[in-house]
Chain A
Amino acid sequence: MNVEILARIQFAFTIAFHYIYPPLSIGLGLILVIMEGLYLKTGNKIFEQAARFWIRIFALIFGIGVATGIIMEFEFGTNWATYSKYVGDIFGSALAAEGIFAFALESGFLGILIFGWNRVSSRVHFISTILVFLGSLFSAVWIVVANSWQQTPAGFHIVGQGMNARAEITDFWAMVFNPSSVDRLLHVWVAAILAGAFMVLSVNAWYILKNKHLEIAKPSFKIALVVATLFSLSQLLTGDSSAKGVAINQPAKLAAIEGHYDSSSKADMFLLGYVDTKKENTKGISIPGGLSFLLYGSFSAPVKGLNAFKPDERPPQVNAVFQFYHIMIVCGVLMILLSLFACYLWWKKKLFTKKWLLVAFIWSVLLPQIANQAGWFTAEMGRQPWVVYGLLKTSDALSKSVTANQIIFSLILFTVVYIVLFILFLFLLNGKIKHGPIDYGVKESIEEGSKRDNPLMSH
């Protein structure tokens, strides 16, 4: 295998593994803010107990997120030296801003979150939780801004030629608010919150099913259900506006997403399908003209197809882009259906009565994870063959001094390390969940707390 493929596999592998954790941190961060806020407001120890439990899990997730995230920052330099030189002027300021504004906030206050219960007041602890949550949101801002600049470059000019060409900033704010960054940021934020919400749903559904820790599990489940419902529905809006943005800014990616080749014709929207890249057509179950309608409000509007692009400027793996995109959509729809149905049962006062639904919620933790990964694979593979859309090809972005053997060495190293980490993560997570949300230092007994009026306790 050549250096390019190996470097791409390495990047995809390390970033995909890393990306299991940051969305969970963001999503759990919001849930923690809500739990601690409710505790401060109601004085009900249940919420403190729940918060203490989830902070322990948060710490575990955050720890692995940090450890695997540091790799990413330096992998640009190790494997993609030409790319680093090309985008350094632009990308670097976003990364530096992430470190100083976001990551420092998050990591600094995390210590107080975990170890500060007895050292600061509940109010200061609550503020620290908010700051950690804000820090994780800011992190996403700078990372998504940098990535969006690669999708839709703006606010720059090119200096130098050939090997020495590079992009330089002309307008910082145009770079930050490049055409896709706001859409994509909202999409990423909402997806991250869903990851956290469904994790809380999953764990508490398991407790309820096992008839354990009900006094904590039921209110926690309801908090997470509200979050999951609101955000899975709003993901429809951010998804729609992202897709429209892709149609305008990256038409080749959009055509690949729906396997659309012929520019002159209307475009169908597929529910399921398969792209035959040899014959250049797509088969499957589709809404005729659906994509045309979604983008332009008419079922017969022509949509630019892959044939409008030179073969070397199309995404090379159209079918993969198509499938990843549709996997994401399926997961998104399932999240909406699941949370809406649960809300309906809640309204009918039958929320925890259906065993199959609780089982479904236990497994639902995978939905946002799969959707997140599939969404990013769509975005990144759909951008190919470019690393910076329309400007720099991925094949030109590598480190000249790095050999295939070095990458194989580090790839094997990371594969082994990450497999070990993942097994340990699941083992410890499992242990924590089995242990349950008790004995985390809340002195007052649960019964005492739950005697107070608690609207979330009733069905």
Chain B
Amino acid sequence: MNIDYNVWWYLVFGAVISGYAILDGFDLGAGALHLFLKKEQSRRIAINAIAPLWDGNEVWLVIGGGALFAGFPVAYAAIFSAFYIPFMIFLVGLIFRGVAIEFRSKETMLWWRKTWDIVYCVACIIIALSLGLMLGNVVQGLPLNTEKEFAGSWSYFFNPFAIQVSITTLALFMMHGAIYLTMKTENRLYAKLHLLANNFTIFFVVSFVITTLYTLLYIPHLSDFFKGNPGFFVIPLLMTLTIANIPRQIKRGKYRYAFLSSATTIALLLIMVALEVFPYLLYSPQYPENSITVYNASSSSKTMKILLIIALIGTPLVGIYTSFVFWTFKGKVKLDEMSY
């Protein structure tokens, strides 16, 4: 494969999206399982486990949006105008997730907190489901016209494959979030999350297997890449191993390793998706000539070069201060007077 600016930027974009899925994935997962925790104290601890971090994690989405807009403006325009309604719902979900965390702690009335708990949990579930739905449709392809704009109606999005991906995404995040919370909790809450982590791992493995079988049976062209490049079979193989490692580490009580494994699983999943769809950013199955690729959607090579310089300077900086912030808040959650 010849690696030019466009391919580099595709890799950068993919890395940012993976970063988002791994980082906000555990926030969203922790939120999606929020109502499984019954006691106010447990819910407070769960919120405070992500409260100092979720904002920084969401930045990866902003960077991802900027990266797509900057590097592949045609794809940015087509994808977001196509997914108009699901994307608006996704954004409203993000709004409510953020403000629920912020608002919940500001009053002590029980009804107030319970209301925001529900808003928070539902928002996280909606975010995960709509992200998965859009991902499923991007992977499968959308009908595009010659202007490279979406030529279908919104009911198109609810196809079996996209729904399957949507549920798998939710399961993946819930597993990831539960494992994260086990790292941050103690005693009875910890025991409860241990159980939840186990259950969500099963939930994820089942949905993942169904999605994979569906893909192999009904969308065979998605596995063309791996059939053509058998050397890359090492990636799905590696992923199977990391997935298998998750319940193993949970059983051993080594949650940090379990967390690393689920993070790696997310990265490997997205790498597989990236390899399967490349060079398409948005494939048009009916009229492949209308498809959007990393070449016909890209900015000028001058902009690509500037972007890569920005990424080269920016990424280490973001890495340094993200690590610093994570390091500051490492360890089990201890509620104090500044906690939410």
- A, B assembled together: yes
A residues touching B (Cβ–Cβ < 8 Å)?
A: 52, 59-60, 62-64, 66-68, 70-71, 73-74, 76-79, 81-82, 84-85, 87-93, 95-101, 103-105, 107-112, 114-120, 131, 159, 163, 166, 168-170, 172, 399-402, 406, 409-410, 413-414, 417, 421, 424, 428, 431-432, 439-441
Instruction: Give the residues in chain A near B76, CB-CB below 8 Å.
Output: 76-77, 84, 88, 92
23 contacts between A and B (CB under 8 A): A66-B58, A77-B79, A78-B87, A82-B77, A88-B76, A89-B73, A95-B70, A96-B311, A98-B66, A104-B56, A107-B55, A109-B325, A111-B55, A112-B325, A112-B328, A115-B52, A119-B329, A399-B84, A400-B147, A409-B88, A413-B88, A428-B107, A441-B336
Question: A100 is contacted by which of B53, B63, B74, B147 (Cβ under 8 Å)?
Answer: B63
B62 at the interface (CB under 8 A from A): yes
Give a binary string over B35-72; 1 marks a CB under 8 Å from any A CB, 0 the rest. Answer: 00000000000001001110110110111011101111
Does A432 lie within 8 Å of B151, measured CB to CB?
Answer: no
A217 → chain B closest CB, angstroms = 22
Count class of interface residues, chain B: 35 or more
Instruction: Give the residues in chain A near B78, CB-CB below 8 Å.
Output: 81
Does B74 lie within 8 Å of A70, measured CB to CB?
Answer: no
Does A431 lie within 8 Å of B62, measured CB to CB?
Answer: no
Does B65 lie within 8 Å of A74, measured CB to CB?
Answer: yes
Interface residues of B in 100-157 (CB under 8 A from A): 101-103, 106-107, 147, 149-151
* Cα distance A110–B94 in the bound complex, in angstroms: 18
Question: B190-198, B209-217, B258-266, B313-321: which one contacts chain A?
Answer: B313-321
A142 → chain B closest CB, angstroms = 9
Does A81 lie within 8 Å of B325, measured CB to CB?
Answer: no
Q: Which residue of A lies closest to B53 (CB)?
A: A111
Question: A169 is contacted by which of B55, B103, B302, B311 (Cβ under 8 Å)?
Answer: B302
Known: A100-B63, A169-B300. A108 touches B84 (CB 8 A): no
Does A76 lie within 8 Å of B302, measured CB to CB?
Answer: no
Q: Which residue of B lies closest to A116 (CB)?
A: B328
* Cα distance A112–B98 in the bound complex, in angstroms: 17
B322 at the interface (CB under 8 A from A): yes
Instruction: Give the residues in chain B near A85, CB-CB below 8 Å.
Output: 73-74, 77
Does B300 lie within 8 Å of A159, measured CB to CB?
Answer: yes
Does A77 lie within 8 Å of B88, measured CB to CB?
Answer: no
Does A118 lie within 8 Å of B338, measured CB to CB?
Answer: yes
Interface residues of B in 294-340 (CB under 8 A from A): 299-300, 302-303, 306-307, 310-311, 314-315, 317-318, 321-322, 324-325, 328-329, 336-339
B286 → chain A closest CB, angstroms = 16
* Cα distance A402–B71 in the bound complex, in angstroms: 23
Main secondary structure of the interface of B (DSSP, over half): helix
B95 at the interface (CB under 8 A from A): yes
B20 → chain A closest CB, angstroms = 11
Question: A168 is contacted by which of B72, B95, B98, B303 (Cβ under 8 Å)?
Answer: B303
Known: A81-B77, A100-B63, A440-B337. A92 touches B71 (CB 8 A): yes
Instruction: Give the residues in chain A near B325, CB-CB below 8 Å.
Output: 108-109, 111-112
Interface centre among A91, A99, A117 (most CB of B within 10 A): A99
Does A89 lie within 8 Å of B300, measured CB to CB?
Answer: yes
Does B98 lie within 8 Å of A66, measured CB to CB?
Answer: yes
B91 at the interface (CB under 8 A from A): yes
Known: A67-B99, A100-B315, A108-B325. A402 touches B81 (CB 8 A): yes
B14 → chain A closest CB, angstroms = 15
B163 at the interface (CB under 8 A from A): no
* Cα distance A64–B94 in the bound complex, in angstroms: 11
* Cα distance A406–B73 in the bound complex, in angstroms: 22
* Cα distance A92–B307 in the bound complex, in angstroms: 9
* Cα distance A59–B115 in the bound complex, in angstroms: 21
* Cα distance A301–B71 in the bound complex, in angstroms: 47
Known: A111-B329, A413-B92. A104 touches B69 (CB 8 A): no
Q: Report the 5 A-B pairs with minimum CB-CB distance, sorted nearest first.
A: A88-B73, A92-B70, A77-B80, A111-B52, A100-B314
Known: A60-B102, A73-B65. A400 touches B149 (CB 8 A): yes
Instruction: Give the residues in chain B near A99, CB-CB below 8 Å.
Output: 59, 62-63, 65-67
* Cα distance A400–B70 in the bound complex, in angstroms: 20
Does A399 lie within 8 Å of B95, measured CB to CB?
Answer: no
Does A63 lie within 8 Å of B99, measured CB to CB?
Answer: yes
Question: A410 is contacted by which of B84, B96, B338 (Cβ under 8 Å)?
Answer: B84
Instruction: Give the residues in chain A near B151, CB-CB below 8 Å.
Output: 401
* Cα distance A127–B59 in the bound complex, in angstroms: 21
A376 → chain B closest CB, angstroms = 21
* Cα distance A64–B85 in the bound complex, in angstroms: 22
Q: Which residue of B lies closest to A171 (CB)?
A: B302
* Cα distance A44–B168 in the bound complex, in angstroms: 54
Does A108 lie within 8 Å of B56, measured CB to CB?
Answer: yes
B272 at the interface (CB under 8 A from A): no
B167 at the interface (CB under 8 A from A): no
Does A109 lie within 8 Å of B321, measured CB to CB?
Answer: yes
B174 at the interface (CB under 8 A from A): no
* Cα distance A172–B308 in the bound complex, in angstroms: 13
* Cα distance A424–B115 in the bound complex, in angstroms: 13
* Cα distance A307–B340 in the bound complex, in angstroms: 59
Known: A78-B88, A111-B325, A431-B106. A70 touches B73 (CB 8 A): no
* Cα distance A402–B81 in the bound complex, in angstroms: 6
Does B95 lie within 8 Å of A406, measured CB to CB?
Answer: no
Q: Which residue of A lies closest to B79 (CB)?
A: A77
Instruction: Give the residues in chain B near A440, CB-CB below 8 Å.
Output: 337-338
Question: A78 is contacted by which of B55, B84, B107, B310 (Cβ under 8 Å)?
Answer: B84
Question: B99 is contacted by which of A118, A409, A421, A432 (Cβ under 8 Å)?
Answer: A421
Interface centre among A97, A163, A169 (most CB of B within 10 A): A97
Instruction: Give the residues in chain B near A52, CB-CB below 8 Å.
Output: 338
Instruction: Give the residues in chain A near B96, CB-CB below 8 Å.
Output: 67, 417
Q: Which residue of B lies closest to A87 (CB)?
A: B73
Known: A92-B70, A100-B63. A71 touches B91 (CB 8 A): yes
B261 → chain A closest CB, angstroms = 25
Instruction: Give the residues in chain B near A428, CB-CB below 8 Å.
Output: 103, 106-107
* Cα distance A435–B51 in the bound complex, in angstroms: 22
Q: Which residue of A lies closest to B331 (CB)?
A: A119
Q: Which residue of A lies closest to B321 (CB)?
A: A108
B277 at the interface (CB under 8 A from A): no
Instruction: Give the residues in chain A near B181, CB-CB below 8 Å.
Output: none
B82 at the interface (CB under 8 A from A): yes
Instruction: Give the residues in chain A near B321, CB-CB below 8 Å.
Output: 104-105, 108-109, 131
* Cα distance A76–B84 in the bound complex, in angstroms: 11
Q: Which residue of B lies closest to A435 (CB)?
A: B106
Instruction: Give the residues in chain B near A76, CB-CB below 8 Å.
Output: 69, 76, 80
* Cα distance A410–B154 in the bound complex, in angstroms: 14
Question: B337 is contacted by which of A64, A84, A441 (Cβ under 8 Å)?
Answer: A441
* Cα distance A116–B51 in the bound complex, in angstroms: 11
Does B338 lie within 8 Å of A115, measured CB to CB?
Answer: yes
Does B63 lie within 8 Å of A401, measured CB to CB?
Answer: no
* Cα distance A428–B310 in the bound complex, in angstroms: 39
Does A96 lie within 8 Å of B63, measured CB to CB?
Answer: yes
14 other A-B residue contacts (CB within 8 Å) besides A77-B81, A89-B73, A441-B337: A60-B106, A70-B62, A71-B95, A77-B65, A81-B149, A88-B299, A97-B310, A109-B325, A114-B338, A400-B149, A401-B82, A401-B149, A410-B85, A440-B337
